[in-house]
Amino acid sequence: MYEELIFPKGFVFGAATAALQVEGDRAGRGDCIWDDYCSKPGNILDGTNVDVACDHVHRYKEDVAIMKKMGLDAYRFSISWPRIFPDDSGVPNQAGVEFYNNLIDELLKNGIEPYITLFHWELPTYIQRVGGWSNPTIADKFGDFARFVGQTYGDRVKKYITFNEPQSFLGYGYRRGSHPPSLKMTDKEYLYAIHNFFRAHGMAVRALRATVENAEIGITMSTNANYPASNSPEDIEAAKMSNLDIVNDDGFIMNIVHWCDPIYFGKYPDKAYEVFGDDMPYMSEEDSKLISEPLDFHGQNCYCSSMIKSDGKGGYEVAKRPLGSAKNSLNWPVTPEAIGSVCKILYERYGKPIYITENGICCNDWICEDGEVHDSYRVDFYHKYLKNLNEAIKDGADVRGYFAWSLMDNFEWTKGYTARFGIVYVDYDTQERIPKDSAKFYSEIIRLNKSNR
Ligand code: BGC
């Protein structure tokens, strides 16, 4: 049974969270832009904040025990920059430093490998006050933070992801204004902020290489993952073209090349200069070297995608999905074909091993009469996406691991606690954790994979 879900030997099965979404406990932690944002009425759908969230800071042992019971190989979590450095004095908050020490030790004791993300959107307020991503000094500051993390945890943690989804925190935060700090920049300002982010990434890679022996470093993107409407060579080519094309969608940039070419090739793609002209930032030789410091893997998150077909004239167009097609509770299309197709495109262009660092679905879950959470749609979601991913691996894409998003229900940004993405249910009143049917399914797949080795 589930033969289609038996992955190559060594494939890593994990689950992911992010600091702000699960940790709670603000004692000793400095404010971040999301704290400020939550405090303004109307910003968060249910009017909540992250003061308690899933109380992971106090319940991490229980959470690690759940991971262990599920048989997870790895846990991807992020380190909160303002929990480590609450203000700009450069003096670390010892309680925060200890929390991650304890979490890491607990994971290792239970045979679970930690994967650290350095930045999952919680920019310290003191950094935003001096311009955030618009101020080029952020690159050095982020490098300092990365060095501290490497020096402190690098004896035990070898896997690092510098950033989670720059297209989201910069696109929504600095261009669309729908996430903090609610800026609506011009193209030129926005492209410059992106350039500063790229430099910060490079500084972090250098800092981690200098402090962590045998570090494996990557970055997580959530670029387009458009998939072909059919298996015809024309549609496959059209989907690829759409993913690699650069379109100025009111300044919002989601294509693969704008975000990945600088990192892997040290330059912006030619098309970016055609589309944005003089608004493009200057890429000096020094910046090019910094930004393209070699990485060990590419992290890809997979959520929303469009179906693409050939327009019959050598171009591409969006194909209509059948009426009533599958969607999650936020109305995002469910498109398992996307996960394999994006891995093939990424691997063909950049040749880097890939980890799916997030993939998951939010559903309207509740506790059933028998006390369990029967999330059959999520079970089917994981089955379909994992199957599609495995097919891409068989077709030659070098995918090394997969992280379910999320380990547990948590604070879903502007949606507050209204959207449940977890494979473990969280009762926010009691903080009780209840593994959903999807957690049991995932665990069974992990067990089958292990017994097959
Ligand atoms: C983010 C997560 C988020 C998830 C679902 C990803 O873009 O990395 O933090 O919860 O999507 O919206």
Q: How far is the CA of 127 from the centre of ligand 1 (A)?
A: 23
Q: Is residue 405 pLDDT above 90, yes or no?
A: yes
Confidence of residue 283 (pLDDT cuts 50, 70, 90): very high
Strand partners, 119: 163
Q: Once rounded to an integer, what is the mean pLDDT over residues 322-350? A: 96
Confidence of residue 392 (pLDDT cuts 50, 70, 90): very high
Q: Is 0.85 surpassed by the pTM of this model?
A: yes
The backbone region for 182, taken as left when phi is positive above 0, alpha when psi lies in -120 to 50, beta otherwise, is left
Q: Once rounded to an integer, what is the mean pLDDT over residues 248-264? A: 90
Q: Is residue 271 part of a domain?
A: yes
Confidence of residue 304 (pLDDT cuts 50, 70, 90): confident
Q: Once rounded to an integer, what is the mean pLDDT over residues 309-337? A: 96
Among protein residues, the one whose CA lies closest to atom 11 of ligand 1: 303
Range 5-14 burial, b when 16+ CB lie within 10 A, else e: bebeeebbbb
Q: Write the CATH number for 174.
A: 3.20.20.80
Confidence of residue 250 (pLDDT cuts 50, 70, 90): confident
Q: Is residue 236 part of a domain?
A: no
Q: How far is the CA of 299 from the centre of ligand 1 (A)?
A: 14
Q: Is residue 251 pLDDT above 90, yes or no?
A: no
How confident is the model at residue 40, as a pLDDT?
98
Single out the catalytic residue among 23, 106, 165, 337: 165
Quote the mean pLDDT of the chain: 97
Q: Once rounded to an integer, what is the mean pLDDT over residues 323-340? A: 97
Q: Is residue 323 part of a domain?
A: no
**Tokens linked to 7:** 């992955």
Q: How many domains does the chain have?
A: 1
Q: Is residue 152 part of a domain?
A: yes
Ligand 1, pocket residues at CB < 6 Å? 18, 21, 164-165, 168, 222, 301, 303, 358, 405, 412, 421
Q: Which atom, in ligand 1's list, is nearest to the CA of 121?
A: 9
How confident is the model at residue 247, as a pLDDT?
84
Omega within 30 of 0 (cis) for the link into 181 = yes
Q: How far is the CA of 234 from the centre of ligand 1 (A)?
A: 32
Q: Is residue 78 part of a domain?
A: yes
**pLDDT tens across 353-389, in order?**
999 999 999 999 999 999 999 999 999 999 999 999 9
358 is catalytic: yes
**pLDDT tens across 142-179, in order?**
999 999 999 999 999 999 999 999 999 999 999 999 99
Q: Which atom, in ligand 1's list, is nearest to the CA of 362?
A: 5
Share of the chain above pLDDT 90, in %: 96
Task: Return all residues near 215 (Cβ < 8 A) that are at least 6 apart.
Answer: 150, 154, 158, 159, 160, 208, 209, 296
Q: Once rounded to an integer, what is the mean pLDDT over residues 400-414? A: 99
Backbone φ and ψ for 360, nearest 5 degrees, come out as 180, 180
Distance between CA atoms of 384 and 434, rounded to whole angstroms? 23
* Structural domain span for residue 299: 12-227+253-306+330-450
Among protein residues, the one whose CA lies closest to atom 9 of ligand 1: 18
Q: Which atom, in ligand 1's list, is nearest to the CA of 220?
A: 8
Q: How far is the CA of 89 from the centre of ligand 1 (A)?
A: 31
Q: Is residue 452 pLDDT above 90, yes or no?
A: no
**pLDDT tens across 10-66, in order?**
999 999 999 999 999 999 999 999 999 999 999 999 999 999 999 999 999 999 999
Strand partners, 327: 333
In 212-366, alpha helices (H): 233-244, 256-265, 270-276, 285-291, 337-350
Q: Is residue 314 pLDDT above 80, yes or no?
A: yes
**pLDDT tens across 97-126, in order?**
999 999 999 999 999 999 999 999 999 999
Q: Is residue 184 pLDDT above 80, yes or no?
A: yes
